[in-house]
Amino acid sequence: MANQLRVFPRRKKRIMRAVKNTRTPYGLDIIESCVTCPLKLDRIFCDLSPRALVMLDNISSSATYPKGAILFVEGQEPRGVFILCSGRVKLTASSADGKSLIMRIADSGEIVGLPGTVSGKPYELGAEAIEPLQANFIPRELFLQFLRENGEAALKVAQLLSEIYHATCREVRYLGLSGSAAEKLARFILDWAASHGDVKSEGRVILTLTHEEIAEMIGASRETVTRLFAEFKRKRLIEVRGSTLVISNKIALQQILKA
């Protein structure tokens, strides 16, 4: 909901220097260069040499997108990568008959469109902003060029790809290895809590997804998700207040997985 741009002032100076050279627009969707943006580039590529960082910043250009904007669609020729500054993006696979499946939700700081860009094959997923979005875009050719000249960055990219793959494997578990829908949902809640959990308030998470979206993530119907949420509440496994979800009985929830 609250979609505040967090700015890291310490970083700003370093960035401002690099950003001077960033005067090369690569498409219509470029609105402004990445100045207010926290530029998580150096979070992702934090262990690169300063020279590489500047190079990277030179080829990237920032843009903003409204909620619901489509960054790219499935099957499209890969144009490049998006590095999210703020806002989240859902990555979905969709079938001919309109069903769609959310494979991953990329949070701010993450990188989107990487596999397609690296391999050159059509994007295997579509990307849609689920919040107002600010992102750095790097066109494919320049990005590849950058990787070729920058071995350490290429290795870093390989690591990122491995992590994306890792997340995808977890997704496969939802879909393939769960007996019941209850199992899927329990697994989803626990996973979500693990990755989005507030550190201090144990078991409290903010869940900004609709039932529909959760259904698309775990491969179930909207109604089933609603029913299961009701069931979990009835059994005192979870509580829901607004968009806050509290895991009241984590152990019981984990029990469902093993069943």
Partner DNA sequence: TTGCGGCTGTGACGATGGTCACCCTTGTGG
Partner DNA sequence: CCACAAGGGTGACCATCGTCACAGCCGCAA
Q: Are 243 and 207 in contact (CB under 8 A)?
A: yes
Helix residue ranges per DSSP H, the chain: 9-19, 41-44, 50-59, 114-119, 140-149, 151-176, 181-196, 211-218, 222-234, 250-258
Shortest distance (Å) from residue 184 CB to its own copies? 11
Q: Is residue 202 close enough to count as binding its own copies by CB under 8 A?
A: no
Footprint of DNA on 203-222 (CB under 7 A):
210-212, 219-222
Candidate segments 39-47, 111-119, 159-167, 177-185, binder of DNA by CB under 7 A: 177-185
Among its own copies, DNA, none, residue 191 binds (CB under 5-8 Å by kind): none
Q: Is residue 1 close enough to count as binding its own copies by CB under 8 A?
A: no
Shortest distance (Å) from residue 176 CB to its own copies? 4
Candidate segments 16-24, 80-88, 144-152, 225-233, binder of its own copies by CB under 8 A: 144-152
Q: Is residue 257 close enough to count as binding DNA by CB under 7 A?
A: no
Footprint of its own copies on 5-64 (CB under 8 A):
none
Tokens of 102: 């959310």
Strands 80-86, 133-139: pairing kind: antiparallel
Rounded distance, CA 243 to CA 181, Å? 22
Q: Is residue 3 close enough to count as binding DNA by CB under 7 A?
A: no
93 exposure class (CB count in 10 Å sphere: 0-12, 13-18, 19+):
middle
Q: Is residue 165 close enough to count as binding its own copies by CB under 8 A?
A: yes
Q: Are 219 and 177 in contact (CB under 8 A)?
A: no
Among its own copies, DNA, none, residue 226 binds (CB under 5-8 Å by kind): DNA
Q: Are 106 and 160 in contact (CB under 8 A)?
A: no
Positions that interact with its own copies (CB under 8 A): 93-97, 99-101, 103, 114-116, 118-119, 121, 124-125, 144, 147-152, 154-155, 157-159, 161-166, 168-173, 175-179, 219, 257-259
